[in-house]
Amino acid sequence: MTYPWGTILGYFLASCFLLILIYVYIKTKAERNIFFQQLEHSENHKKQLTSSLDALSDPMWIKDKDQTYIYCNPAFEQFIGLSKLEIIGYRDEEIQSQQAQLSQNIIPAITSNEETGTTEEYVCLPCGNVDYFQVSTERIYDISDQLFSSVGYAQKITPFKERESELVDAEIRVNEALKLTKVGIWEWDVGKDIWFATPSYFTMLGYAPVKGMADRKAELEKIHPEDRQHVMDSINNILTSKSESNYYKYQARIRHIDGSYRWIGVRCIVTEFDQEDKPARMLGVRIDIDEIQKAHDQVEWLAHHDSLTKLPNRVALNKTFHQIIKPNTKIALLFIDLDHFKNVNDTLGHSIGDKLLLTVADRMRTLINNIGYVARQGGDEFIILLPADNEECLIEKTCAIKEALSARYNIDQHQFFITPSIGVSLYPRNGEDFDTLYQRADAAMYHAKHTGRNRYAFFTEEMQAISTRALTLGNALHDALERQEFSLHYQPQISLITGKIIGAEALIRWHSLELGHVSPGEFIPLAEESGQILAIGEWVLRETARQLKQWLEEGITPVRIAVNLSYAQFQVNDLPAIVAAILNEYAVPAQYLELELTERIATKDPEHTITILESFQQLGIHTSIDDFGTGYSSLSYLQRFPVYKLKIDQSFVRNMTTNTNDQVIVGTIILLAQQLGMTTIAEGVETKAQLEMLYNIGCDDIQGYYISRPIPAEEFKIGFLQKKQRFLVAQD
């Protein structure tokens, strides 16, 4: 870096007209003659000049034509570490030889630039400090171009050099950082079409850095053909835009040196405009966003596809639906649910379940092929869009789907069958938007399930009413416990041997403030689907215990009350502890509680059933198997179940007086119970003929409308608990 002599001479230009340093700017011999004449007659001015030079804070010296010092200022004395007496009249080599204490590199620093004019040197000062100086020398010639004298000047530039070094280091670090961050910087002089870029601009894609001006057109050729026009349009928009914003961005795929393409993001800013207010210079960066873009693409794919089957999901199918609907178009939406799919997961494991779903998806792809669209909704639910211009063809295709999905599955040495329930809604007949069609196909699918499964059903308005009712019930059920809308009714159980009451079954009733009385057949399945059955089941246990406690406190000896357990309750491992805690809370002896579980629940996981039942037995709680005869009990497990009663399902009792098969089944159950040391109770007894037949074939107890409907607690207390009598039985 250089410093103009005008800066130095500014100290004394005002006080001295004839300045020796102005000689640098004298161009002609005539001007030099005038200069020397004035110099010889201006002793006074010399003193002023000397005074000004002495005041300078930077070292300055003057030598004659023989390079002997004829002047130096005090700053030079400090700089060299000698007094004027030791400097004036001596040459550099004389000073160097005579002054042993003189720093070895000061004289070389002073003399190194006598030919070149300016140099930068490290100097070890007398004080011991090492600083960086810029040393300048100007030779002065007389009118005959002979060396007259020379003027020297030294300025400390250590701070500037340190800053310069820092900038160099920073540039190196920035370039290294750009390599790590995969960011390249470029600058474009639009008018001259000169384009420069940092090394990382090239190396991020495997290319060797280009020094100096790069070939912009060659860089454009590396853009993916599908993206090139987009990039060119973006650049043209920047060059022609009159927008107030001078910031622009775009992204494209750029060819890597290995031939692959990587996503690159470009951000640029117009740093200079020409007279026509058009971009004249631009500065920008390009960033390797390939991994980010691929991650974004993956997220986008996952947002629109099922990760297991790779089928589109409901969101994607919704978009497809809106793309394909046109005037006079007819489309069918099929909602497919696999019947009893949960049994596969529960018995064979989720791995087999996943493979089953993959097989189902493959069968659907093959069936639908190019005529429609298939998606997975989630779980065991799928959605299909099919053309519905010809309803007969639609029915044929729906039947083909049902048959294909009902065919045998062979997965990991397991062979099994599974069936679908299919609901169908039609566009535009049943709805003009995807969500409405989806909802109505869902309603039709549930109708197919509730009417036997393994079938299809087209949506009707009656189904909508049922679906709406289910939604209304579900919402009301959510608040029923908090609003204390549940109550228990009790149906007495009578011994056929003694004719006396031996127990009762607690049956939940729901009277909604908005909906009125709601049948258990309606709300119990909803509670099981929503998961509210656990809270409701615990409430039934608590209310039963509370009622038993109340009767005991009233001095009434209660009978054993039977409570049904749901499948969800029975899966809770600490269920025995929960029941025991409730009995302890209300101080009710365990002998007054009986817990019923259905045959299907008991046989789903026999070992778990045995563990839970044994825990109840240890607590002194009686257990029984409900709806016996409707499931698939294994006799080997049945004899291991610690239960004391089998409850004969009412479906056999209902027709036993007219159906020989039912009579045989009931008799067999009674005989089996007797052989296993269990008692039997028949539910659903409604006639005297049924009662007499049950008595004759050895049934122990009965329950049903022939004795009493389920009644509220107070009515049950008065009508049964407080009466010390035999009730109407066969022998009467």
pLDDT digits (tens, 9 = 90+) for 703-714: 999 999 999 999
Q: Which residue has the higher pLDDT, 464 or 365?
A: 365
CA 170/CA 503 separation, integer angstroms = 91
Using DSSP's 3-state secondary structure scheme, residue 286 falls into strand
Name the DSSP class of 95: H
Provide CB contacts within 8 A for 641, sequence distance 6+.
Answer: 602, 609, 610, 613, 625
Average pLDDT, the chain: 85
Torsion, Cα of 436, 441, 442, 447 (10° steps) = 130
What CATH architecture applies to the domain 5-156?
Answer: 2-Layer Sandwich (3.30)
Does residue 6 register a pLDDT over 60? no
Strands 409-411 and 414-416, sheet pairing:
antiparallel
The two domains 5-156 and 163-294 share their CATH topology (first three levels equal): yes
33 has a pLDDT exceeding 60? no
* CATH homologous superfamily for the domain 163-294: PAS domain (3.30.450.20)
pLDDT band at 100 (very low <50, low <70, confident <90, very high): low
Check pLDDT > 80 for residue 650.
Answer: yes
Tokens of 583: 């009995």
Q: Residue 68 half-sphere exposure, CB side, CA atoms within 13 Å?
A: 6
pLDDT for 3 beyond 70: no
Among the residue ranges 61-65, 275-279, 324-328, 725-729, the one predicted with the least confidence is 725-729
Q: Which of 529, 526, 537, 534 is nearest to 486 (CA)?
A: 537
Q: In what order do the strands lie in the sheet with 261-273?
A: 194-197, 183-189, 279-288, 261-273, 247-255
pLDDT at position 178: 58
Average pLDDT over residues 559-563: 96
Predicted pLDDT at 537: 95
With 0-12 / 13-18 / 19 or more C-beta atoms within 10 angstroms meaning exposed / middle / buried, residue 601 is buried
Q: Is the pLDDT of residue 7 over 70?
A: no
Q: Which of 39-48, 246-255, 293-302, 332-341 has the lowest mean pLDDT?
A: 39-48
As a whole number of angstroms, the distance between CA 431 and CA 424 comes to: 12
Which pLDDT belongs to residue 17?
A: 32
Q: Is the pLDDT of residue 369 over 90?
A: no
The model's confidence at residue 468, banded by pLDDT at 50, 70 and 90, is confident
pLDDT-wise least confident of 287-301, 390-404, 535-549: 287-301
Average pLDDT over residues 257-275: 89
pLDDT of 438: 95
pLDDT tens for each residue of 120-161? 776 777 777 778 888 888 888 877 788 778 888 888 888 888
How far apart CA 418 and CA 347 sit, in angstroms, is: 14
Q: For the chain, how big is the Rg over CA atoms in Å? A: 51
499: left (phi over 0), alpha (psi -120 to 50) or beta: left
Name the percent of the chain lying above pLDDT 90: 49
CATH superfamily membership of 483-721:
EAL domain (3.20.20.450)
Q: How confident is the model at residue 10 (pLDDT cuts 50, 70, 90)?
A: very low
Report whether pLDDT(181) > 70. no
Residue by residue, DSSP assigns 39-76 as HHT-HHHHHHHHHHHHT-SS-EEEEETTSBEEEE-HHH
Domain chopping of the chain, boundaries:
5-156, 163-294, 305-459, 483-721
| Residue 200 φ/ψ, nearest 5 degrees | -65, -20
Q: Which of 241, 246, 196 is nearest to 219 (CA)?
A: 196
Closest by CA position to 596, among listed 685, 529, 507:
507
Other C-beta atoms lying within 10 Å of the C-beta of residue 534? 15
pLDDT attached to residue 374? 96
pLDDT at 29 over 80: no
Which pLDDT score is estimated for 529?
83
Query: How many Å apart are CA 699 and CA 692, to the nearest integer?
Result: 10
Residue with more model confidence, 660 or 122: 660
Does residue 520 carry a pLDDT above 80?
yes
- Percent of the chain surpassing pLDDT 70: 87
Ranking 50-64, 250-264, 399-413, 608-622 by mean pLDDT, the lowest is 50-64
Structure tokens at 479: 């608040």
Q: Is the pLDDT of residue 224 over 70?
A: yes
- Helices 533-553 and 575-586, interaxial angle, to 10°? 30
pLDDT at 200: 82
pLDDT for res 351 = 93
The confidence score (pLDDT) of residue 309 equals: 94
Q: How many CB atoms lie within 10 A of CB 706?
A: 16
Where is pLDDT greater, at 680 or 290? 680
Contact 384, 391 (CB under 8 A): no
Give yes or no for a cis peptide into 327 (omega within 30° of 0). Answer: no
For 572-595, what is the mean pLDDT? 95
Residue 474 amino acid letter? G
- Model confidence at 636: pLDDT above 90: no
Reading the block at residue 713, the tokens are 């607690």
Query: Comparing 469 with 359, which gets the higher pLDDT?
Result: 359
Res 300: pLDDT: 87
Per-residue pLDDT tens digits for 346-356: 888 999 999 99
**Do 304 and 317 meet the contact criterion of CB atoms below 8 Å apart?**
no
Question: Is residue 5 pLDDT above 70, yes or no?
Answer: no
Residue 23's pLDDT is 43
Mean pLDDT, range 21-33, rounded to an integer: 46
Q: From 353, 351, 404, select the one nearest 374 (Cα to Cα).
A: 404
Mean pLDDT of 469-481: 89
Query: Under DSSP, is residue 197 helix (H, G, I), strand (E, B) or coil?
Result: strand
Structure tokens, 64: 């004659």
Residue 677 binned pLDDT confidence (cut-offs 50, 70, 90): very high
Q: Are residues 36 and 146 in contact, defined by beta-carbon separation less than 8 angstroms? A: no
Residue among 172, 213, 170 at smallest CA distance from 193: 213
Q: Any idea what the Cα angle at residue 141 is, between residues 135 and 146, rounded to 5°?
A: 125
DSSP string across 447-480: HHHHTTSSSEEE--HHHHHHHHHHHHHHHHHHHH
Judge contact between 87 and 71, C-beta under 8 A.
no
Query: Which is nearest to 375 in space by CA: 390, 360, 389?
Result: 360
305-459 CATH fold? Alpha-Beta Plaits (3.30.70)
| Distance between CA atoms of residues 614 and 595, nearest Å | 13
Cα(23)–Cα(142) distance, integer angstroms: 10
- Report, as an integer, the average pLDDT of 643-647: 93
User: What band does 21 get if pLDDT is binned at 50, 70 and 90?
Assistant: very low
In the chain, the N- to C-terminal Cα span, in Å, equals 129
The whole-number average pLDDT for the span 631-656 is: 83
